[in-house]
Structure 1
């Protein structure tokens, strides 16, 4: 059951094998092959690894953990399965699930006997990697080896089902567990309730909460937070606040995550005064806001163009030892750019690198759009070039933003060059991309070229949308080509797009 390792882990192991004198250069090398070919114990490693396992796992990095594993497999006698399990568990907590799968395979080839605990670690890694079919297959193997699944085993599988958008399968497994005599615990219920809420099946999640309580399992703050988040995301603000009251009645105190979910809902609903009250309530409860809390509040202030207060909040969070991350900066930059205060946004954009905050694709896209909005498309182009040079990959939204800016400023030829570069990079243009180009061509009076591009859409596997048809019709009407425009109108109706849905680009 050999699995591929992550490139970093594999190169590290390969490098060590070659340095230690292994003549094999095949990419399918294994630690087992090396250790058997050397046929000698790792001298002096017996006590070192035990000391590290006892005291050093919490601060250990991936390279260090791989080095430790490399030394452990050379020890004779081999370390116990408990020792290996502790190391695998530590690597799993780093979220290096593919590495755990590979190392587990190496242990198997070395003849290290596995127990239920290590089997659960591996099965959990399959589920975390969205490899549910492998997890279910391994469950069968576990049982053949005499390792009967535990509540932890089922918890991992339930997570895998929910992660794979198979929540109803998770509910069926819950029923099957009960039939087999297992008693679901709070983690099991929380996993499914969270999965139901994330798939917008909040009523089913509330039903499961009732069943949970009937079974004598006490909900915890995670249970309530999942439900509150689900209710907020479904626009059920009143139900969410009632759930907060309910959790308090059950002597479960709201935490920062609870307040963040409520503040997020308030900001999205445009009810910023309520968000401010929730923030004050947090302070009264001596709950320290985190970077998410401050980012949400800054977003709300920007929505109302309260930039002075947003900057004050930005500075206040720093004074409290809560440092802005890329999301916080991006929110504030976006607020400035939407209000055409792009220079203020650029000041923060430059500050990011000075503060050691790495700018991502979203940040670059926001500032590019900001400069396009104020007509400084040349600056936007330079920032785009800097973005590519710095190794930050543009996405389809970045390209569309830049193309929109170029077309709006009459730079159709430049836009077509960018479109070509985009396709050369392996990124497929979507209908929004072509709508931008068609609109730009029509605006520049190049209706014939726009018509050719419109006619080519079906060959590109793209379906025109309301904006495509509307833009093309307006371009044809302006050129006096009424017959062609009427043909486009008829085609739009044939495609089921009603004329009442037509809107003109702003």
Structure 2
């Protein structure tokens, strides 16, 4: 409107040839241009006069003046949340490096602006996940150690060195070790094992052995414990030949103990080299080091791997003659031998002997026996052994529970899997997300809707968030028992969280709705699915072009 008024003023200020207007006094008479002349073709308008007249016509009200037109009061807006409020702490910190900032000062300033309390746990999550480069990882670590929550000690360097070694950033790993030494921090045996295992896992065996020769750079003494760490890493990665060469080269330079020989003997026993294990035992006796129960256990295990069970039994009986009382490791070797050949009677015989000798079975004992029972589908025996394990206070790990549930759900209804799940949860064991998904999948197929929803609720109570697979299992389970309205509600919840179920799951639900004459509900669901798929296709297109919104 102001623009049209300005045009009116300019047009009004031009000279007119109407006689009745020439005698009319106007407040805008000062804007009139002089008459035309041969040397003057365009009227000259003073801009200050124009602005002055506009200000008189359209006055700007000040804060004290009242507006003639009062605007309605707007409702108070809720507190605005930041756009990255849904991200995890580690994702916010890693997102700083996606900005491609120039200079360490700019990166450290951006990291400080994230306003996150960084501790060792957050440090590990940032470095162990994602796809940060080696330089970015070192830059973030140097900033993190300046924060009050991350101590500048060897424990913090364990995290960065392990993360760099896992991704084979050996140049940056060695630079971090040099900076650690410059700051006056000495390494320990755990740091030595991390460095050597990183090289060995990547296939750099010779470099790992060279690292043992330059332990002064880490601040670690070259003694028997350091040698045992090197041999353990080599044998754990099946480089027992290199470990045996190191053992021979260090003879006379470093003192050997029974653990040193056991490291190499254990490596040979894993591949069934009975002759090499016997040779190690002879070298032990020649050096005046007596074999212990673990050494005899390695010998019996190697004999069992090649099927020489009778000789393994003879070695077990000869232990008592050599004043070596069998312990849990020796009994485990015999139990594992009979488990490998499927002789469960002898297996349980040695298990009962172990209990009678006041040897407490460990987690490895129960896991081997239960896994063997489940492999041959002796579910009742497996459940009985699982109860025995919990009764003796042996707490299984999260991976062990997942393996048991996965094995039980591979055949038949998941009743036995639910028994293990409930007993493990009651005893305080941690259940993994994978175990929950396996249970939900099997329950949805057999149509146990009530148990399915209760397991889903318990999963959310444990802090796990539902993903696309979980929603699909719930929808299929509800469809199988005819609870279509609840299935639609679950699908709408999944769509609200940005998950678009597969076409198979949607077709199953839609066909059941149409079969039950619920056409309107099916049509509304179709519109929502159509909109969700369009959004999903857009997201896929963005990500394919590197636009991570």
TM-score (norm 2): 0.47
**Mapped partners of 1:310, 1:328: distance in 2:** 13
**Mapped partners of 1:163, 1:347: distance in 2:** 35
Q: Is the 8 A contact 1:197 1:229 kept in 2?
A: yes
**Are residue 217 (structure 1) and residue 289 (structure 2) matched?**
yes
Structure 1 residue 319 displacement after superposition: 3.0
Q: Is the 8 A contact 2:178 2:217 kept in 1?
A: no
**Mapped partners of 1:310, 1:99: distance in 2:** 41
More moved, 193-202 vs 294-303:
294-303
- Alignment partner of 1:159 out of 186, 209, 232: 232
**Mapped partners of 1:214, 1:392: distance in 2:** 63
1:503 is aligned to none
Structure 1 residue 284 displacement after superposition: 0.8
**Mapped partners of 2:160, 2:293: distance in 1:** 24
Deviations along 1:389-414, one digit per CA (max 9) or x if unpaired, are 757999xxxxxxxxxxxxxxxxxxxx
**Are residue 67 (structure 1) and residue 150 (structure 2) matched?**
yes
Extract unaligned runs of 5+ from structure 2: 1-88, 97-103, 112-134, 166-171, 471-501, 505-549
Structure 1 residue 281 displacement after superposition: 0.7
- Alignment partner of 2:179 out of 99, 102, 108: 108
Q: Is the 8 A contact 1:97 1:128 kept in 2?
A: no
- Alignment partner of 1:123 out of 192, 195, 199: 192
Q: Is the 8 A contact 1:30 1:106 kept in 2?
A: no
Structure 1 residue 163 displacement after superposition: 3.4
Structure 1 residue 124 displacement after superposition: 2.9
**Mapped partners of 2:434, 2:422: distance in 1:** 15
Structure 1 residue 351 displacement after superposition: 6.0
Structure 1 residue 274 displacement after superposition: 1.0
1:271 is aligned to 343
- Alignment partner of 1:285 out of 352, 357, 367: 357
Structure 1 residue 364 displacement after superposition: 5.8
Q: How does 1:395-410 map to 2 (within 5 A)?
A: none
**Are residue 313 (structure 1) and residue 396 (structure 2) matched?**
no
Q: 1:254 aligns to what SS in structure 2?
A: coil
- Alignment partner of 1:29 out of 139, 142, 156: 139
Q: 1:205 aligns to what SS in structure 2?
A: helix
Q: 2:250 aligns to what SS in structure 1?
A: helix
Q: How does 1:139-150 map to 2 (within 5 A)?
A: 139=212, 141-142=214-215, 149-150=222-223
Extract unaligned runs of 5+ from structure 1: 1-6, 43-63, 70-83, 395-415, 419-506
**Count of residues paired in the alignment:** 331
Deviations along 1:164-191, one digit per CA (max 9) or x if unpaired, are 433222222222222x544432222111
Instruction: Give the direction of change, closer, same or farther, for the CA distance of 1:344–1:104 in structure 2 (3 Å limit).
Output: same
1:494 is aligned to none
**Mapped partners of 1:348, 1:147: distance in 2:** 46
Structure 1 residue 321 displacement after superposition: 2.5
Q: Is the 8 A contact 1:229 1:261 kept in 2?
A: yes
Deviations along 1:17-45, one digit per CA (max 9) or x if unpaired, are x9xx964858343777899xx9xxx9xxx
**Mapped partners of 2:435, 2:235: distance in 1:** 28
**Mapped partners of 1:285, 1:95: distance in 2:** 46
Which has more radius of gyration?
A: 2
Q: How does 1:21-420 map to 2 (within 5 A)?
A: 23=109, 27=136, 28-29=138-139, 67-69=150-152, 87-88=154-155, 97-98=162-163, 105=176, 108=179, 111-113=182-184, 118=187, 122-131=191-200, 132-139=205-212, 141-142=214-215, 149-178=222-251, 181-302=253-374, 307-326=379-398, 329=401, 333=405, 340-349=412-421, 356-359=429-432, 361=434
Structure 1 residue 143 displacement after superposition: 6.7
Indicate the structure with greater helix content.
Answer: 1
**Mapped partners of 1:391, 1:255: distance in 2:** 47
Instruction: Give the direction of change, closer, same or farther, for the CA distance of 1:327–1:155 in structure 2 (3 Å limit).
Output: closer
Q: Is the 8 A contact 2:181 2:217 kept in 1?
A: no
Where relative contact order (Cα < 8 A, 6+ residues apart) is larger, the structure is: 1
Structure 1 residue 292 displacement after superposition: 3.3
